[in-house]
Amino acid sequence: MVDGDTIDIAIGGNTERVRLIGINTPETKHPTKGVECFGPEASAYTQQLLPAGTALRVERDIEARDKYGRLLLYVYIAQSNVFVNLDLVLQGYARPMVFEPNTAHKADFAQAATQAELRNVGLWQACR
């Protein structure tokens, strides 16, 4: 686990760095932004949601990789079918962030953010 919206996964015997599409968690390791409000909490939640060895199901959108070479994926926990990208927004650990042309779940993320803000959870409560 790298931070709240970037994870490392094992695929075919290789480790791949994955950027969760459509969301953005507050920074914890950015070289110029430093640690942002609710960043450590978002990273801890992602780590708790995806402990090492968690079986995943992944989906691509239009682009396979970003300019940093990271895979761009929608990630689901195989056993429970929890949609990790959406869960992070719904629980208030991430905000939607549009990565054109990868927008298959754009409306779902926007709706989840509205719900989280209305419930005043996570970063919506801590970072006003």
Question: Are 6 and 20 a contacting pair, CB within 8 Å?
Answer: yes
70 annotated active-site: yes
Please pick, among 16, 41, 63, 70, the residue that the annotation labels catalytic. 70
Backbone angles phi, psi at 83, to 5 degrees: -85, 100
Residue 65 annotated in active site: no
Long-range contacts of 17-20 (CB under 8 A, 24+ apart): 17/68, 17/69, 17/70, 17/71, 18/58, 18/70, 18/71, 18/72, 18/73, 18/75, 19/66, 19/68, 19/70, 19/71, 19/72, 19/73, 20/73, 20/74, 20/75, 20/84, 20/85, 20/88, 20/94
The reply to whether 60 belongs to the active site is no
Q: Catalytic residue, from 27, 57, 95, 100: name it.
A: 27
Residues marked as catalytic? 19, 27, 70
